[in-house]
């Protein structure tokens, strides 16, 4: 088990699968609240549903409607199960509060480095600890690949 330590800003404890993106998320024009899906065409998670997932992302971008859009996911039953993000902004912080899901910010080591989509994680918004309970399959980097070799790894 790997523990990431940060600051809990919305209390509560939840265990769920992680959905990880390196792209900041936009509320207005970025998500569809009825389906809990990312709709920004150029986004890494375009078309992906975050409902019930631990949403791991760098931070919020775009319009000030951010918090209202994520609050709507709570009211529509499409909210993520928890949030883990790194960059503190008014949009993301207020958004996490009104979404009312356990939220940890500024965790180390960096969740974007340590976590992959599909990992089973526990987010503890009381203690500020994110625990990776089970890792999804990682793509292993072979020695051959590292050295630029051509042979196929088993």
Partner 1 sequence: MKLTDEELGMRDGAEGDAVAAAMDLLIRYGAALGAERLVDTRNVAGTMTQPSPAKAKLVEEGGWARAYAVINLDCDKDIEIPRMKVPTCQLQHGFGKDAAGLTAYPDSSIALQSDAESYFSERGVNILATCTPYQVGNLPVRGEHCAWMESSAVVYCNSVLGARTNCEGAASTGAAGLTGKIPYWGNHLPENRFATDLIRADVEIDTFQEWGMLGYFVGEQVQEARPAVTGLLRQPDLSDLKHFGAATATSGGVELYHMPGITPEAPTLEAAFGGSTVPKARTYGARERRWVYETLNGQGQSTDVDFVLLGCPHASLDQVARIAELLDGRRLHSGTELWVMTPGALRTMADRNGYTRIITAAGGHVLTDSCPAMSKAAPPGTRVFATDSAKQAHYLPAILGIEAWFGTLDECIDAAVTGRWRGDLRP
Catalytic center residues? 63
Q: How many CB atoms lie within 10 A of CB 139?
A: 7
Question: Does 89 contact partner 1 by CB under 8 A?
Answer: yes
Give bridge partners of residue 121 from the DSSP assignment.
16, 132
Residues of span 20-49 touching partner 1 by CB under 8 A: 24, 28-30, 33-34, 39-41
Q: Which of 56, 84, 93, 104 binds partner 1 (CB under 8 A)?
A: 93
Angle formed at CA 130 by CA 27 and CA 109, multiple of 5 degrees: 90
Task: State which residue, 40 or 145, has the beta carbon closest to partner 1.
Answer: 40
Please list the alpha-helical segments (H only) found in 40-136. 66-76, 90-99, 111-114
Position among 36, 53, 91, 107 found at the interface with partner 1 (CB under 8 A): 91
Beta bridge partners of 32: 37
Q: Is the dihedral of CA 137, 32, 28, 97 positive or negative?
A: negative
Which window, 15-23, 54-62, 116-124, 127-135, contacts partner 1 (CB under 8 A)? 54-62
CA angle 32–115–10, rounded 5-degree value = 60
- Window of 14-22, 93-101, 115-123, 134-142 that interacts with partner 1 by CB under 8 A: 93-101
Kindly list the residues in this chain that would bind partner 1 in the complex (CB under 8 A). 9-10, 24, 28-30, 33-34, 39-41, 59-68, 71-72, 75-76, 87-91, 93-98, 100, 105
């Amino acid at each position: 088990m790997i523990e990431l330590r940060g600051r809990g800003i919305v209390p509560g404890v939840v265990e769920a699968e992680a959905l990880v993106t390196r792209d900041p998320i936009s509320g207005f024009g970025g998500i569809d609240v009825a389906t809990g899906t990312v709709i920004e065409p150029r986004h890494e998670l375009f078309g992906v549903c975050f409902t019930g997932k631990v949403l791991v992302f760098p931070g919020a971008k775009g319009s000030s409607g951010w918090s209202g859009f994520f609050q709507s996911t709570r009211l529509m039953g499409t909210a993520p199960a928890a949030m883990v993000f790194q960059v503190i902004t008014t949009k993301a912080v207020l958004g996490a509060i009104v979404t009312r899901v356990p939220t940890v910010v500024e965790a180390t080591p960096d969740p974007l480095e340590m976590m992959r989509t599909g990992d089973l994680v526990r987010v503890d918004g009381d203690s500020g600890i994110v625990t990776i309970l089970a890792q999804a399959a990682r793509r292993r980097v072979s020695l051959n690949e590292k050295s630029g070799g051509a042979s196929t790894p088993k």
